[in-house]
């Protein structure tokens, strides 16, 4: 059953703690992406990776970090430096190399109090 999985679906953390969100894909896609979605707003790009061991900052990378050690995995860490971490986080992947369509995971809703 191919696709993108994100876990957990809901995540709660105390302010000041780092938290890592999981994203795994078995589509053999080269490119992976992390977006943040706030109520009533569109998706904003945090980080993206076109290939293993390489990633670039998106529009709102401050307070976040990523790694891409394996093709199928692209974890996102929300650090204590992120001022407003409570949001819905979406991971996506695409085949890359001219194939633009992005496939999205189910999302993780992070609440920081």
Residues forming contacts to another protein in the complex (CB under 8 A) are 4, 6, 31, 35, 40-45, 48, 50, 56, 58-59, 90, 92, 98, 100-107, 109
Nearest alpha carbon to residue 81 among 49, 44, 112, 50: 112
Cis bond upstream, residue 20 (ω within 30): no
- State the distance between the two ends of the chain, measured CA to CA, in whole angstroms: 36
Q: CB of residue 80 vs another protein: minimum separation in angstroms?
A: 26
As given in the structure block, the two tokens for residue 5 are 């999985």
Nearer to another protein, 55 or 78 (CB): 55
Nearer to another protein, 9 or 14 (CB): 9
Residue with tokens 């900052």: 57
Nearer to another protein, 80 or 88 (CB): 88
The first and second tokens of residue 79, run together, are: 């650090």
Task: Return the closest-CA partner of residue 21 out of 84, 101, 113, 85.
Answer: 85
Compare residues 51 and 81 and give the one whose CB is closer to another protein. Answer: 51
């Amino acid at each position: 059953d191919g696709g993108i999985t994100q876990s957990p679906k809901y995540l709660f953390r105390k302010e000041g703690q780092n938290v890592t969100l999981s994203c795994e894909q078995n589509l053999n896609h080269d490119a992976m992406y992390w977006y943040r979605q706030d109520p009533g707003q569109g998706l904003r790009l945090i980080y993206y990776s076109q290939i293993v061991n390489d990633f670039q900052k998106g529009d709102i990378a401050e307070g976040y970090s990523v790694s891409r050690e394996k093709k199928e995995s692209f974890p996102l860490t929300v650090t204590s430096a992120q001022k407003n971490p409570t949001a819905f986080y979406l991971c996506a992947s695409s085949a890359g190399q001219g194939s633009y369509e992005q496939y999205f995971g189910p999302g993780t809703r992070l609440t920081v109090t």
